[in-house]
Amino acid sequence: MHGSIPNAEATSAACGVASHALVEATLAEIPGLRDQTVPEGVPALPSRYLRHCDEQTVVGIRAVLAAIAAHPEPRPSFADYGVVAAPCQAGRIATAQSLAMLRTAGGVAVSPHVVPQCSLHSLAGAVSVALGMHGPNIGVSGGRHAVSEGLFTSLSLLAADESLPGVWLVVSGWTAEPSLDATGKPDCGRTQEARLGPICRALAVAVTASADAVADRGISRRLTLHMPATLRVARPAAESHGAADEILDFALGLAAGPAASWSHTCPWGAEIRLAPHAVARDGLRVEHGSTPRREAA
Amino acid sequence: MIVNTPSAREAVAITGIGAVTPLGHSFEAITDSLLAGRSGVRSIDPGEFARESQQFAAAVDSVPAPPDGVCMFNGQEFAALTRLEQMVVSPVAHALADAGLSQHRDRLRIGLVLGLGAEQLKRWELDFLAGGRQVFEPSPTDTLVHQVARMMNLRGPAVTVAAACASSGYAMALGRTWLKAGWVDACVVGGCDVLSPTALAAFYNLRALSRRSDDPAKASRPFDRDRDGFVMGEGGACFVLEPLSAARRRDARVYGELAGVGVSSDAAHMVTPCSDPTQAARAITQALADARVTADQIDYVNAHAAGTPVGDAAEAGAIRRALGSVVDRVPVSSTKSMSGHLISGAAAFEAVACLAAIARHAVPPTLNLDHPDEHCQLDHVPHVARERSVRVTASNSFGFGGANLCLVIREAA
């Protein structure tokens, strides 16, 4: 080993948030979401498109459709958007059923849909195909750090390609993993407990390459990433909670009023902040924590 | 998007390789196998649940233990890991050691991006087949990428990515982005997959697998008119990426440069390859532009071509469109004819094939290409390797969900 390794420098990046929506459903409610009509003004899904999809894909696509419906006018084309989807333990119910069938009936009984529809890529692919988005589509995480990995990857895609106008970030997970019987069948609404929960939660966020002047429900917001020069020495071991709590926390941050802000620290020490980004009518842009400056007319 | 980094124009070097593949586990062994035209496809015992027609694949016999001092466990503890865990830990550890960075982890931000398209499915399945009930009663566990980052004391970002059969290529692309953004000092990237009864059955029931069980070594026949599906394989590869200038300063071995990335989505169908080559060709064109090379500078294309009737023809169309008038002068081969389809690990393995072509100035062949399909007209390299100067390569990967990816890998300056 010769020579030296350069010292790291802290870096930052910023992008905008154009729209968001949170959708929640119990197991008993998900079959209804598979066939539900889309909100007014939103592109229709192909016929029976959600028939074989994993539960988190169903709820995740509904969240994207709701966020498109909530997008401020004029609504842009999303044809060149990318998709980053971060489900948590997706495909478990279908996998359990496939494994149970494998044992009782052999390979002939395994569903051909289990790989394309119930893997980590499936939610991202389903959003891309359903809504005709030709930017990159990738699944990320699969575990409890779905919010960290989803946000960081979304910012990475936007940093990688200046021509990418935006990314739909979808994060999803269960508040508690549904209990399954020996055939992999969930207790779907037969008891009061099942009707009340657990809940499948999905948050869709339109993250835009431009950090400027995109109003989400009248509030302009900016997502900033700060990568410190020195990262954490040790990562925390797994804790008991899943991704659903962090998804709700992020959603509450997005839904908060103009004065509110939200921040999230990734397991590796990077900090992602959501902050208001006010734009006055005369073009004066005010960034919190910085000196106001007048932009060119 | 605003990124305040001085490293955006810095070339990204590949300085470490770790691999577990049906064709060998070291760069030299894999290169020898590829250029000799050896097939890794053979009869296997896929377990009690499989049918006769699924009893061949490109399997890995044993996974090499990590080199001493890279991980926190000994050989006995490594042997106790699941096959999936071994397949991930081994190439990450070997890549770090090969790059000479295993001793410098304390003062570097080393990221980790793993392309694992079905980590949970494989974990649940391995547990189920061993008598466990995790799939019915899951307990919270970290994903492998975070376990491995902890195990190897890596202090950078850690992300699992999935784009089906393009997963490990997206991992390479993401790690390159982090370097260019200045978010890491080095990054371990790659991916792998393991054979499993459920995956074999699911792909078989999709009619995606070859049914040529009478002669396994002849079953994987990309671009051939008699192809009837792909052959599953297992394994994968990991790489250490770092700025070329840093690699030169420390006299590291530089295998090549990850010079360009192109990505797009067909947005057409979740499973069936898109017959319209527009988006796949766009990914190739983007990668060339990103690498600042023109089509006539490409010396070799490693095709995704898995041996499926629709997919191979669609890819040939995309290559023809992207390379234009020079397409008939650019050698194209599919190393899946030898390695089988490593699914999540395929793109990383095929990046090794590109580096092998650069190192030995020879293009690996497509085995079993007896009668090139008239719908796949390209400058094929059938049966035996072709010697030629190879400085710039392109490697395609396409996956379920319409994911398209092209990597340009070239000889480092």
Domain boundaries, given as residue ranges, for chain A: 19-219
Q: How distant, in Å, are the alpha carbons of B20, B301, B334, B338 from that of B365?
A: 21, 11, 7, 9
Give the count of Cβ contacts less than 8 A between chain A and B.
300
What average pLDDT score do residues A125-139 get? 97
Domain B260-410 fold: Peroxisomal Thiolase; Chain A, domain 1 (3.40.47)
The answer for A 81-120 residues in CB contact with B (under 8 A) is: 82-83, 89-92, 95-96, 98-99, 102-103, 106-108, 110-120
ipTM attached to this prediction: 0.96
Binary contact (A107, B205; C-beta < 8 A): yes
Three-state SS for B381-398 is CECCCEECCCCEEEEEEE
Per residue in A50-63, is it b (16+ CB within 10 Å) or e — as a string? bebbbbbbbbbbbb
Decide if B239 contacts B172 (C-beta within 8 A).
yes
Interface probe, candidates A51, A138, A227, chain B, greatest B C-beta count within 10 A: A138
The predicted structure's pLDDT at residue A3: 39
Q: How far apart are the first and last CA of chain B?
A: 29
DSSP B9: T
* A5 contacts in chain B (CB < 8 Å): 104, 107-108, 185, 246, 249-250
Do A92 and B135 lie within an 8 Å CB cutoff?
A: yes
pLDDT-derived band at A278, boundaries 50, 70, 90? low
Flag if A12 and B120 touch (Cβ within 8 Å).
no
Contact B250 A4 (CB under 8 A): yes
Nearest residue on chain A to B260, judged by CA atoms?
Answer: A160
How many alpha carbons fall within 13 Å on the CB side of residue B6? 7
Q: Is B160 on the interface with A (CB under 8 A)?
A: yes
Residue B103 at interface with chain A, using a CB cutoff of 8 Å: yes
Chain B residues with beta carbon closer than 8 angstroms to that of A232:
155
Q: Can you spell out the DSSP letters for B251-303? A: T----EEEEEEEEEE--S-SSSPPS--HHHHHHHHHHHHHHT--GGG--EEE-
Buried b (16+ CB within 10 A) or exposed e, B333-347: bbbbbbbbbbbbbbb
The Cβ of residue A25 has, within 10 Å, a number of other Cβ atoms equal to 18
Mutating which of A12, A92, A99 best tests the B interface, going by the most B Cβ atoms within 10 A?
A: A99
CA atoms B235, B180, A123, B124: torsion sign: positive
**Looking at the domain that runs over B12-256, which CATH code has it been given?**
3.40.47.10
Q: Which helix (H) or strand (E) holds B79?
A: helix B75-79
Name which of B1, B141, B206 is nearest A209 (Cβ-Cβ). B1
Residue A34 binned pLDDT confidence (cut-offs 50, 70, 90): very high
Of all residues in chain A, the one with the smallest CA distance to B178 is A156
Task: Look up residue A212 and give its two tokens.
Answer: 């400027």
Alpha helices for A213-293 (secondary structure H): 244-255
Q: Which residue shows structure tokens 């339109």?
A: A206
The answer to whether the beta carbons of residues B109 and B185 sit under 8 Å apart is yes
Long-range residue pairs from B208-213, CB within 8 A, at least 24 positions apart, any chain: B208/B308, B209/B54, B210/B307, B211/B53, B213/B52, B213/B53, B213/B55, B213/B56
Longest dimension (CA), chain A: 71
pTM over 0.90: yes
Please state whether A106 falls in left (phi above 0), alpha (psi between -120 and 50) or beta.
Answer: left
B161 shares contact with chain A (CB less than 8 Å): yes
Of B310, B329, B318, which is closest to residue B381 (Cα–Cα)? B329
Active site residue B304: yes
Q: Is the pLDDT score of A276 beyond 90?
A: no
Residue B254 CA to residue B244 CA, distance in Å, equals 8
Active site residue B165: yes
Token readout for B77 is 């503890």
CATH of A19-219, one of 3.40.50.1820, 3.40.47.10, 3.30.460.10, 3.40.50.170: 3.40.47.10
Which positions of chain B have pLDDT values less than 50? 2
Flag whether pLDDT at A251 surpasses 70.
yes
B142 contacts on A by Cβ (under 8 Å): 143-145, 237-238
Q: Measure B381 CA to nearest chain A CA, in Å.
A: 31
Name which of A36, A25, A32, A59 is nearest A197 in CA terms: A25
Closest CA to A89 of B124, B393, B276, B242: B124
Which residue in A has a C-alpha nearest to residue B115's C-alpha? A140
**pLDDT exceeds 60 at position A189:** no
Rounded to 5°, angle at Cα A285 from A280 and A286: 100
Model confidence at A229, in pLDDT bands (50, 70, 90)?
A: confident
Note whether B373 and B223 are within 8 A (CB).
yes
Residue A40's pLDDT is 85
Q: Which residues pair with B394 in a beta bridge?
A: B301, B408
What is the torsion angle, in degrees rounded to the nearest 10, for the CA atoms of residue B172, residue B174, residue B180 and residue B184? -90
What does residue B371 show for φ and ψ, rounded to 5 degrees? -135, 90
pLDDT tens profile B112-135 = 999 999 999 999 999 999 999 999
Alpha helix ranges (H) inside chain A: 30-35, 55-70, 92-105, 114-118, 122-131, 146-160, 192-196, 244-255
Give me the sign of the Cα torsion angle B174, B236, B231, B334: positive
| Residue of chain A whose alpha carbon sits nearest to that of B280 | A134
If pLDDT is split at 50, 70 and 90, which confidence band does A4 have? very low
Mean pLDDT computed over every residue of chain A: 83
In tens, the pLDDT along B139-161 reads 778 999 999 999 999 999 999 99
Tell me the per-residue pLDDT of A40-79, one tens digit each, with 9 for 90 and over.
889 899 889 999 999 999 999 999 999 999 998 888 999 9
| Record: contact B155-A232, CB cut-off 8 A | yes
CA distance B63 to B83: 8
Contacts of A268 in chain B (CB under 8 A): 149, 155-158
Cβ of B198 under 8 Å from any chain A Cβ?
A: yes
Q: Do residue A89 and residue B200 have CB atoms under 8 angstroms apart?
A: no
What is the rounded CA–CA span in Å between residue A148 and residue A266? 5
Cα of B81 to nearest chain A Cα, Å: 18
CA distance A229 to A91: 37
CB contact at 8 A, B221 and B369: yes
Subunit contact A6:B269, Cβ cutoff 8 A: no
Cβ under 8 Å to B: A residues 267-296: 267-268, 270
Q: Domain extents for chain B?
A: 12-256, 260-410
Residues 238-257 of A with CB under 8 A from B: 238-242
Q: What is the pLDDT of residue A292?
A: 29
Does residue B187 contact residue B275 with C-beta atoms inside 8 Å? Answer: no
B60-115, pLDDT tens digit by residue?
999 999 998 888 778 889 999 999 999 999 999 999 999 999 888 888 999 999 99
